[in-house]
Structure 1
Amino acid sequence: MHNTIEDYLSQLEDKLRELPANERRVHLNEIRDHLMEAAAEEGKSEQEIVNSFLSPEQLSQDILKEEQNRVQKTSFENPDYWFGITVTSVVAPFGALALPFIFDDIDIGLFVPFLLQFIVAASALFGYYKDRLTTRRGDILKQVGRIMIPVLAIPFGLFSIDIMQSGDLSTFNLVYLACYLLVWLATYIALRNVYLSHSKVVID
């Protein structure tokens, strides 16, 4: 039971701690105005109004769910979100495509989705997004460029493990490593060129 509207709001505020302070205040002010208006119009006491209203627990769950849906919708509608997904899809396959170094009998068909992911994402990045960079997207490219260097540890590490396990230098692994490094280098240079072109435009 809540004696006053402020008692009710105090409990509700405690349930909404997950929200940023400014958003929490907005919701609390709206609910306060609604409850005060209802009390004035219906001629009821504050206790009667809050007791006939949704409980703080139920209302907080509804508000948090609504905010979560709003944030998700905003993220999906944000152009930079899809740019980030595209850039990630260019770099991420390099991890999976390094696995053939240690799995000799693995079905190559398993890697087709990763290869297609790379091709589609690279086409979008170097085709569609190349001339649509913003400062935020430039920052994302810069961060990804830094991540790509440590990625090289994956193929070299797996290549070394295979040599230690088999005691032999596989011709397939040598050729595959050369192709892998060639694609990695081409991708890295392309990313760097796009970033530098964007930086030059910003500076100019």
Structure 2
Amino acid sequence: MDERHRDTTIHRHSEVNTRVIHHGTEEKLGILDTWDSIRKSYLNTAAWVDWLNTWIPKLPYFREEEEQYQTLEETMAVELMMHDNEHGYFAVSKEVRSPRPAYVLHRVGQVVMETENMMVGVIMGWDAGLRAPPEWIKRKKYSDSELERAKDTPHYRIAFSGPDSSSVLIGYIPQYNVKLFQGFQPDIPRFLEHYFSHFDGEKFVMEEWLQEIYPDD
């Protein structure tokens, strides 16, 4: 993400926060609008989820807003699955990825760029094809041809720096929106220390438990 886009994101976060503190009922629409713009991308931020969980229960809502509020709650539940889930969605499965298909072009630990938002991150895992819950796939609003393409496309679980130093963004991104980004070590929070031991100048080196899942990477 370039600095102008990052500044815009942080500014919108602060602006909505201020409105919630100083106003009454219309603020919720501002939060929903902002969340909607974020969830339409491939990215998910734990910082936003925590912040919304803090504010939304305190905000009043009316009957005509209940459906939208319920949709937001469902969306947040799916987004939280991006971090961990028992179904193996979003490349969190502990199944050993070996042999590694030749069409999986990138490897765990490599630094890559997500080409839609121009954000640089680190690959934490991959699926040989789309592996996500139906609710998430439905929200992507794929056409039939796009969905067929996505199903057969490797998807990568990628960690990006969040809007502040203590947060991390998790993306589940198709291979056609990822490219290798060499010669750069992104500033990622300590969250990654569980996955990688160090950066060797080209990639992050996997911890032993992760190497066992991706032995060919």
User: Taking structure 1 as the reference length, what is the TM-score of the superposition?
Assistant: 0.27
User: Taking structure 2 as the reference length, what is the TM-score of the superposition?
Assistant: 0.26
Compare the two structures and name the one with the higher strand fraction.
2
**Structure ID, larger Rg:** 1
